[in-house]
Structure 1
Amino acid sequence: MDIKEVIKQGETKYVEFKSWVKANKKELMNILTNEAVGFANSDGGIILVGVEDDGEITGCDDYDEQGIIESIYDKTIPKLFTDIDVIKIANKDIIKISIQKSHEIVATSKGVVFKRLGKNTKPFYPSEYTSNSIKGFKGDYSAKIIEPATNDDIDFTEVERLKLKIQSRDKDSTLYQSDNITFLKDLRLIDIIGDEIQLTVAGLLFVGTKEAITRYLPQSEIIILTYNEGQTEYHKRLELKVPLVQAVDRIQQFFEDRNGIQNIQMGLFKLEIQDYPINVFQEALLNAISHRDYESTSSIFVKFYPNEIIIENPGSFPSGVDSTNIITHPSSPRNKLIAETLQKLRYVQRSGQGVDIIFKDMLSLGKSAPEYNLYSEAVSLTLRSSLEDIEFLKFITKEEETNGEFSVSEICILKYIKSNKTITLGKAAEVAQITTQSAANVLNKLCKKRNILQREARNKYMFTHRVYESFNANIEYTKDKDFDEIQANVMILDYLSKNEYITRKEVERLCGFSPATSKRILKDLREQERIILEGQNKSSKYKLKK
């Protein structure tokens, strides 16, 4: 159904309106969380932010889509995954938050449970639950109970290791203060049935003894292979059939010992560029652990080559994810309990699958894009260490010092323009894996930062001269430059036909030129006696010659 028709029909059991312009933004995040919990505990639904209770469209501005997703994720237990779309109606942005029905009861992080009742969200009390014990974990293999496992299969040294991780990394948490059994139960790593303690799959992987892991989940091992230059056979093999925290820490240390650094001169200082950003490798490894198919008899392989790292993971992409949307598709980890435990241990600092981080950091450092390959029963990720585009690295570094950090969408678009000179609106949406409307918003933001300039056609963009001049311009760039300077003359004269005067700074903004180029253009127009100069220095103004 068309979104306008949905708004016209008003709020229902499946639709909620929320104002953006009238709300306190911090309180709004709590309200959105409550509404999302209500829908998750009912039959699902959508929240339309930017629409008043009476259906008036007031829109949203200065919003952070990822921030909203993470806020709801961080404020719910178990963690709630939502989808967000931005829809433009009457030149106003409406944020559509979609929530699926949950197979288990969802609460806010404050322990409050809501349910949708007609067009309102109401508290949901334990006496109303189908069962007073929240159960299910349908579809989450890592939350399943390993019935033969007992208390004897728990390595309590690993339990203490987890407690220390949480104590040192999360100052607000009180989890580590509990006794060991309560701690494990709160993390849902165990279940207690009668007087018996039973481990979940996640519990076995995090706190199981090596013997228990080998007995119940031998395929959960992570295998590290290293290769020498020019060799097709590995020269070293390390099999880690140990609890996950031990494995992750050991692999991380192995990685850091091999990770080289290249120094890039930027003006008076040197920029240290690692072969692989540490957070990129960490995200890639944790993704493999959270998304792998633990029912498969295959293992995770981490292959270290002289110039690349390949991580091979049993299992296909999550449902709905493919190579065309992997950057922006909301995460739906195959093993939610493992993903949640990693986040509580602060190995993962945010919700989501981290693919956007992997793409953004690799491209912004002048390296090639990460390469995902899907096979019938596995996914592989290849990271390459070589510096593919030093000019792009220097450009991004310099721009971020002035304008702040770029988003992954902006980086993908800028990288494409650097390689292809121009980009259309449709291609921008494709390379950034976002909607056309979102791509238009990103392009407009980049125009305001003076990184790209709309030109030739309505939906075609290219770098401004200021950016061209930061690169080693080739002949074709020079041809474009000559063409745009002719256009600039027309733009300046047209501006002056409607305005009393123009300043050099305004020429820079209007045409996207550097100060030097703007000064030269204005000088040429004066020599042609098309404009005159009034005032000096900062008070200089240019007017049409009559």
Structure 2
Amino acid sequence: MAPKDLTALLQELITTWENEVVEFKQASNDYSTDDIGKYFSALANEANLRGAERGWLVFGVNNKTRAVVGTDYRTQMDRLQSLKQQIAADAEPRVTFREIHELQHADGRVLLFEIPAAPLGMPIAWKGHYYARAGESLSPLGLDKLDEIRGQTLSQDWSAQVVPAATLADLDETAVAKARESFARKYANRIGLPEVMGWPLSTFLDRARLTQGGQITRTALLLLGKAEAAYLLSPHPAQMTWSLEGSERAYEHFGLPFLLTTTALYQRIRNIQLRILPQNELVPVEVPKYDQKIVLEALHNCIAHQDYRRNGRVVVKEQPDRLVFENQGSFFEGKPDDYVAGHKTPHRYRNPFLVQAMVELNMIDTMGYGIRDMYLGQARRYFPMPDYDLSEPGEVRMTLYGGVVDIAYSRLLIQKTDLPLADVLALDRVQKKLPIPDVAATRLRKAGLIEGRKPNYFVSAEIAAATASKADYIRTRAFDDEHYAKLLTEYLKKYQRANRAEINQLLLDKLSDALTEEQKVKKIDNLLTKLRRAGRIHNAGSRGQPAWALAE
């Protein structure tokens, strides 16, 4: 926000003075972080109750004279911004300031802490206690206000509905024990595992936001219910499906309890080690095809944001080089790109009761960081970024890549580990032949990360030495598999068939000189296998003497 806009905002806040969503403090450098957390909880809850989008905690204004007096609270910017993480660590759910604005006012330095309103149906606590305002003072959030917030979505939240026929006997003992462990891990700084394990089951379920006054909810059944209790959620199938696609086909359904069966589904995915050869090196980098944390984040997001009223299931399709996650219900707030930068915090949830319970069990967070973490995780593994497809009405489809699309992109990430995420995202679009903004293209070209002319950019291959000649560059530059596939299919169109010796003669000298002869032969093996599995070519000869031809 520009200084003139901040000045106008400050004047407006001072003019209206303190109300339940604004608090002024003079604040010295040693102002208590614990007190800031209490005000965060109080102002967030009051903003929710009053239909405001945000509350304000303002430092540097005398709360009696209404005069700007300045503050020396955390004058170092890195210490000031670190307050966001400190608040998030002890707030429940895990939220923090939208922004901390610093204004150099004529009468002194002013800080304006922008506090998001508590999400519908989800009051904000600080260190396990809910706060509110009583005039100019802090007070506990009364039961009437607590019930008002929690009741905001109960009537329309499918996941919050009580299942009258369900009892504690319908919950899976192993899942309950796992839930206790996860809850204790989340609150390890305040509650020990022995204490949590010693709570009566009904107490634990209420504390973990799984039940309402001891009554079993749909959320409790989804996360902890026995497999045979799924009928209590009818007509919803309460099911996730894994399917294997490609030359081999298989599938398996996974039911309740989702707290356990998400991991069981992950274990069905074929997660081999992949080797990526850095430019001009002989020792490959090994990475798993899929990262367990990323897969479970994606799967838990599907469960949390599924529109259960549509009576569909979550589907995970395993293809040879990617996973596709499908769940029912449109993207509920904003677009995926809004969350990648890490600045978007959702204000509303389709299933707030379920989301809150999954937060308590350490399955997800509510800061909107999950999508960003998946993107960063893929970048750390030198793989393409996830893709979201929202083209099908009422459905979200997310693709998670488990292989290299353009070797030049992956090698670049290996060599340049400090690239900003914005540049990695732009390079990812380049490797996928998608357009990028002109400003991003200019930045990447200036850094030597892309080549070509708009719109046909491609990722630059790194050169072994700054003095390498252009001819050396072409010899060492890697092309993607589709380039070599096109050479082969054009050859087969002209000559109908080709044996392995003819294919080697066609391709070996065109592969990157950064590869050894053995690696070149292996690459051609992989290319033939990939084209055969894709149904583009077939063996028209015998197993002993293959002769490759285009598929009909």
TM-score (structure 1 length as normaliser): 0.64
| 1:274 and 2:288 correspond | yes
Distance 1:240 1:418, change over 3 A: closer
| 1:188 and 2:209 correspond | yes
State how far apart, in whole Å, the 1-side matches of 2:151 and 2:274 are.
49
Bigger mean CA deviation after superposition, 327-336 or 303-312: 327-336
Give the alignment partner of residue 381 of structure 1, picking from 398, 412, 431: 398
Indicate conservation of the 8 Å contact 1:76/1:106, yes or no: no
State how far apart, in whole Å, the 2-side matches of 1:366 and 1:244 are.
30
- Displacement of 1:386 in angstroms is 2.5
| 1:261 and 2:261 correspond | no
State how far apart, in whole Å, the 2-side matches of 1:108 and 1:398 are.
44
State how far apart, in whole Å, the 1-side matches of 2:294 and 2:121 are.
32
State how far apart, in whole Å, the 2-side matches of 1:156 and 1:75 are.
29
- Displacement of 1:330 in angstroms is 1.5
Indicate conservation of the 8 Å contact 2:339/2:371, yes or no: yes
Deviations 1:367-415 (A, max 9, x none): 2221111121110001222323545545545554xxxx76644643676
| 1:12 and 2:29 correspond | no
| 1:236 and 2:239 correspond | no
Q: In the alignment, what sits opposite 1:155?
A: 172
| 1:294 and 2:312 correspond | no
- Displacement of 1:7 in angstroms is 0.3
CA RMSD in angstroms comes to 4.6
Indicate conservation of the 8 Å contact 1:225/1:303, yes or no: yes
- Displacement of 1:208 in angstroms is 1.8
AA in 2 matched with 1:46:
G
State how far apart, in whole Å, the 2-side matches of 1:219 and 1:25 are.
50
State how far apart, in whole Å, the 1-side matches of 2:25 and 2:424 are.
32
Secondary structure (helix, strand or coil) at the match of 1:301 reads strand
- Displacement of 1:296 in angstroms is 1.3
AA in 2 matched with 1:222:
M
Q: In the alignment, what sits opposite 2:521?
A: none
AA in 2 matched with 1:252:
Y
Give the alignment of 1:267-346 within 5 angstroms: 270-319=284-333, 321-327=334-340, 328=342, 329-331=344-346, 332-346=348-362
Q: In the alignment, what sits opposite 1:224?
A: 242
Secondary structure (helix, strand or coil) at the match of 1:215 reads helix
- Structure 2 gaps of 5+ residues are 449-459, 474-552
Bigger mean CA deviation after superposition, 205-214 or 24-33: 24-33
Indicate conservation of the 8 Å contact 1:154/1:207, yes or no: yes
State how far apart, in whole Å, the 2-side matches of 1:169 and 1:115 are.
24
Q: In the alignment, what sits opposite 1:177?
A: 198
Distance 1:201 1:398, change over 3 A: same
State how far apart, in whole Å, the 1-side matches of 2:122 and 2:317 are.
40
Indicate conservation of the 8 Å contact 2:218/2:233, yes or no: no
| 1:22 and 2:29 correspond | yes
Indicate conservation of the 8 Å contact 1:367/1:389, yes or no: no
State how far apart, in whole Å, the 2-side matches of 1:38 and 1:3 are.
24
Indicate conservation of the 8 Å contact 1:155/1:207, yes or no: yes
AA in 1 matched with 2:114:
I
Indicate conservation of the 8 Å contact 1:145/1:200, yes or no: yes
AA in 2 matched with 1:221:
Q
State how far apart, in whole Å, the 2-side matches of 1:341 and 1:352 are.
16
Q: In the alignment, what sits opposite 2:509?
A: none
Deviations 1:429-467 (A, max 9, x none): x99xxxxxxxxxxx9xx9xxxx969xxxxxxxxxxx9x9
Give the alignment partner of residue 368 of structure 1, picking from 384, 387, 403: 384
State how far apart, in whole Å, the 2-side matches of 1:63 and 1:415 are.
33
Give the alignment of 1:320-469 within 5 angstroms: 321-327=334-340, 328=342, 329-331=344-346, 332-348=348-364, 351-374=367-390, 375-397=392-414, 399-400=416-417, 408-409=421-422, 411-412=424-425, 427=439
Quote the sequence identity (%).
Answer: 18
Bigger mean CA deviation after superposition, 219-228 or 150-159: 150-159
Indicate conservation of the 8 Å contact 1:395/1:470, yes or no: no
- Displacement of 1:40 in angstroms is 4.4
State how far apart, in whole Å, the 1-side matches of 2:44 and 2:465 are.
49
Secondary structure (helix, strand or coil) at the match of 1:122 reads strand
Indicate conservation of the 8 Å contact 1:227/1:306, yes or no: yes
AA in 2 matched with 1:206:
L
| 1:115 and 2:160 correspond | no
| 1:39 and 2:42 correspond | no
AA in 1 matched with 2:162:
I
State how far apart, in whole Å, the 2-side matches of 1:470 and 1:246 are.
51
- Displacement of 1:417 in angstroms is 9.4
AA in 2 matched with 1:178:
W
- Structure 1 gaps of 5+ residues are 432-442, 454-464, 479-546
Secondary structure (helix, strand or coil) at the match of 1:113 reads strand
Secondary structure (helix, strand or coil) at the match of 1:325 reads helix
Deviations 1:240-272 (A, max 9, x none): 1221122112012123x4344224358686422
Q: In the alignment, what sits opposite 2:524?
A: none
Secondary structure (helix, strand or coil) at the match of 1:273 reads strand
State how far apart, in whole Å, the 2-side matches of 1:385 and 1:93 are.
48
- Displacement of 1:295 in angstroms is 1.3
Distance 1:144 1:90, change over 3 A: same
AA in 1 matched with 2:127:
K
